[in-house]
């Protein structure tokens, strides 16, 4: 990527953010949604100011996500986490278990195999901790009881991703099955 192209892309990204984020915040939507709207507007399905060359920026975007998570970690106080251990495990665990049971049941009723239904039900209740914490902080809700409850669920979900990622390969369909029906969750014997 040439320096000229890199500067143009940086200009496009920054201009889009400077325009959409304040508008989004003014409308009460928050900065995270403003960045998402900016991406849609300048992306390949909008004004097409960035497209495939946007893949080159992904390294910088990943670094930005890592830095945002690092900043979230800096705000966490170990004594606060210890005091919140029961809500984290209780509320977060209850949310995950209730969603897994409900969504697995719906999947089974729709005719999915138990493996497919369980995999879908483990993935759907997850949300982005970084975006959730940013939104709670922007709205001044982090110190409220509701904000701490939401944070507890978000933190449990973030930790639950690790065992879920370990479990998903075990739920994978039998690789010996190759018919179209197996893609939709029918059991392959």
How many whole angstroms separate alpha carbon 120 and alpha carbon 186? Answer: 15
Average confidence (pLDDT) per 10 residues, the chain, 189 residues? 74 90 89 87 85 65 69 73 85 92 95 91 83 82 88 86 85 57 50
Closest by CA to 133, choosing from 35, 30, 34, is 30
Residue 23 contacts residue 34 (beta carbons within 8 Å)? yes
- Supply the pLDDT for residue 178: 47
Q: Is 115 exposed, middle or buried (0-12, 13-18, 19+ CB in 10 A)?
A: middle
pTM for the full predicted model: 0.61
| Chain centroid to CA 170 | 23
Residue 14 contacts residue 39 (beta carbons within 8 Å)? no
- Supply the pLDDT for residue 188: 53
- Supply the pLDDT for residue 52: 66
């Amino acid at each position: 990527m040439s320096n000229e192209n890199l500067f143009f892309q940086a200009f496009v990204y920054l201009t889009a953010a400077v325009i959409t984020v304040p508008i989004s915040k003014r409308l009460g939507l928050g900065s995270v949604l403003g960045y998402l709207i900016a991406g849609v507007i300048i992306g390949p399905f909008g004004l097409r100011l960035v497209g495939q060359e946007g893949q080159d920026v992904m390294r910088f975007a990943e670094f930005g996500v890592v830095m945002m998570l690092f900043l979230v970690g800096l705000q966490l106080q170990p004594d606060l986490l210890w005091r919140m251990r029961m809500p984290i495990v209780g509320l977060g665990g209850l949310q995950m278990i209730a969603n897994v049971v409900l969504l697995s049941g719906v999947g089974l009723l729709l005719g999915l195999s138990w493996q497919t239904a369980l995999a879908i039900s483990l993935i759907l209740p997850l949300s982005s901790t970084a975006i959730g914490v940013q939104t709670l902080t922007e709205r001044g809700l982090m110190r409220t009881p509701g904000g701490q409850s939401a944070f507890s669920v978000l933190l449990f979900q973030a930790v639950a991703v690790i065992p879920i990622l370990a479990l998903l390969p075990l739920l994978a369909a039998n690789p010996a099955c190759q018919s179209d029906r197996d893609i939709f969750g029918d059991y392959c014997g």
